[in-house]
Structure 1
Amino acid sequence: MATLSERIPSPSSFERTSNVVLAIAGAFLIAVIVWFSTENQIYTIAVALIVGYLLLGVRIVRPTHRVLIEFLGKFQRFGGPGFYWVLPGFQKLYAVNITEKMVNATRQEIITADNLNATVDAQVYFKVKDDEVNVKRSQYNVYNYEDQIVNLARTTLRNIIGTLSLKSANSERSRINDELGKVLKTETQSWGIEIVRTELKEIMPPADVQDTMNKVVKAENEKIAAIDFATARETEADGLRRAAIKQAEGVKQAKILEAEGQAEAIRLVNEAADRFFIGNAQKLKSLEVTESALKTNTKIVLPEGQQIVNVIGELAGSKLGLQE
């Protein structure tokens, strides 16, 4: 098995420089103090070297990291944030970042089920679990887990999208994200990391296919708009037709009622004529003419020798007879 030093990148140049500068500054300060306090130069040099050596082992670990310490290439102990001193040349301290990180699965072309080349890009968010067992797993069970996650994500995306058509892949992004996350969580269980989430950034078809799809979508939208317009016109025409039918039915009903009223009036007049004017048709006719003239404010021309009082009397008598 490879040692931890082969798996974890070496400390940054800034950290190495800081440790060396600290050691040199401390050694120089002690050397100056000893130089002026004693005349033994060998003793002064020895003290300075010892102080510098001790200062080279000083380490400060932030709360965002966990510590693995090796002694002569063998794991010795695990630690959290704080102050550490290691024996330079014999012990090595490695600080493992446990904060959430993101890796880009790098754009790749994937052939879909309908034989189209889709350009796919995705991101994976993960973090190292902060307990001792999982921190050790992240360093001892996998070589460079970030690269491994990227490669695994790319392979998984090819397997998933390769079974879908381009249209299905674009419409089922949430499903692809879910399947990608499940596969990554299963495959990385022994790596000591937690897959927080996955995000499918884009699925881009070839330019000519994209142009065709845009035209199809535009035509479909225009078709829907035309159907909606035709439906609206049909609804409007149906409403007008129903209104015309209602109006015609109203006119018809009014005429029926009017005709029924006239028929009823004629019936009543006939009954009155049969009852009160049998054998005296001249008086009935005079009554009808007089009543019509009174309604229309028409002048009445009386027959020669006929008194108006007699006519009015006869009219009144006829009406009284009708009321009886």
Structure 2
Amino acid sequence: MGYSIGALLVLVTLTLLVPAAVKVFAVTVFEYEKGLKYTRGRFTAVLRPGLYWVVPHFTTIRKVDVRPTFVSLSGQEVLSSDGVPLKVSLAAKFEIVGPEAAVNKIENYQTALYLELQLALRQIVASSPIDDLLQKRNDFGKQLLDITSAKAKEMGLRLLEVEIKDVMFPGEIKKIFTQVVKARQEGLAALERARGETAALRNLANAAHLIERNPALLQLRLLQVVGQSSGNTVVLGVPPQSGPIPIRTREAEEVETQHPLPEKEE
């Protein structure tokens, strides 16, 4: 019994004294992080979120933020395949899926990714004419994503999005494109005016054909115009080839209804 109590006292004493002598401290790996554990300088494990005890000079824990991150390339000066100088800006979104590779295999994964995106951008722009760059910006973003995804994977990264933000031209090129757009809009406006005039002429031609086949239509139209006007004296001239328009009053219609005319014998 005495031996057991003595052993217990020794154990309690060691429990209290050893941490004070060794100076063990705690490291917390948060939910949005991964921890890289190094023992005597050698990588030993990837740690999940939680609380870990660390012995200085023996164990080291390096925390890596694995949340999605953005990288931006602004004002990259490149030449298109038709020799037009451009400044292109793009943005990329990535996340760390292999913290061991991102930290241990490369000195700075963000700088390396920046360089890979820059090289891929120059490759695509240099092989494309200016019209394609303006009209297919979304397609070029997908091409950049396809080209750089493999390299990013080797660095422990996963590219989520790559988009071209801006395509900027020198001042002279801007003026030329402005003139081209203006000429295109003026051409479309002239085309619409021509279509309207053609439709109006077609309607006039159809009306002329109708009047030629039915001269009385012109007289009816004139009477409609006269009926819509008030307080004016209008003198109408009727073409000789046009027959008179029979006008029947209401009294005449009532008399004809009461005393119908006898039918003519054949």
Q: TM-score, normalised to structure 1's length?
A: 0.59
Q: Pick the aligned partner of 2:92 from 111, 124, 136.
A: 124
Q: Summarize the alignment of residues 100-139 of structure 1 with structure 2, pairs less than 5 Å apart.
A: 100-129=68-97, 134-139=98-103
Shift of 1:159: 0.4
Distance 1:185 1:323, change over 3 A: closer
Q: Pick the aligned partner of 2:119 from 141, 155, 173.
A: 155
What is aligned with 1:89? 57
What is aligned with 1:192? 156
> How far, CA to CA, are the matches of 2:159 and 2:56 in structure 1?
36
Shift of 1:252: 9.2
* C-alpha RMSD over aligned residues: 2.4
Is the 8 Å Cα contact of residues 166 and 205 (structure 1) preserved in structure 2? no
Greater strand percent: which structure?
2
| Residue aligned with 1:106, SS | strand
Distance 1:252 1:66, change over 3 A: same
Q: TM-score, normalised to structure 2's length?
A: 0.72
What is aligned with 1:74? 42
Matched positions, count: 206
> How far, CA to CA, are the matches of 1:209 and 1:79 in structure 2?
55
Q: Pick the aligned partner of 1:141 from 105, 111, 117.
A: 105
Shift of 1:103: 0.7
Greater helix percent: which structure?
1
Q: Summarize the alignment of residues 45-56 of structure 1 with structure 2, pairs less than 5 Å apart.
A: 51=20, 54=23
Deviates more, 1:185-194 or 1:238-247: 185-194
Greater than 6 Å deviation, 4+ residue runs: none
1:208 paired to 2:176:
no
The amino acid across from 1:101 in the alignment is: T
Which ranges of structure 1 fall in alignment gaps of 5 or more residues?
1-46, 254-258, 260-321
Shift of 1:217: 0.3
Q: Pick the aligned partner of 2:139 from 151, 171, 175.
A: 175
What is aligned with 1:239? 203
Residue deviations 1:47-100 (CA, integer Å, cap 9, x gap): 7x9648625x32111100011110111012221111111111121101111110
> How far, CA to CA, are the matches of 2:44 and 2:35 in structure 1?
11
> How far, CA to CA, are the matches of 2:170 and 2:265 in structure 1?
99
Shift of 1:142: 2.4
User: Based on CA coordinates, which of the two structures has the bigger radius of gyration?
Assistant: 1
> How far, CA to CA, are the matches of 1:227 and 1:52 in structure 2?
91
Q: Pick the aligned partner of 2:186 from 219, 222, 233.
A: 222
Residue deviations 1:117-143 (CA, integer Å, cap 9, x gap): 1001111100011xxxx2212222222
Shift of 1:105: 2.1
> How far, CA to CA, are the matches of 1:161 and 1:190 in structure 2?
25
> How far, CA to CA, are the matches of 1:249 and 1:68 in structure 2?
96
> How far, CA to CA, are the matches of 2:107 and 2:19 in structure 1?
37
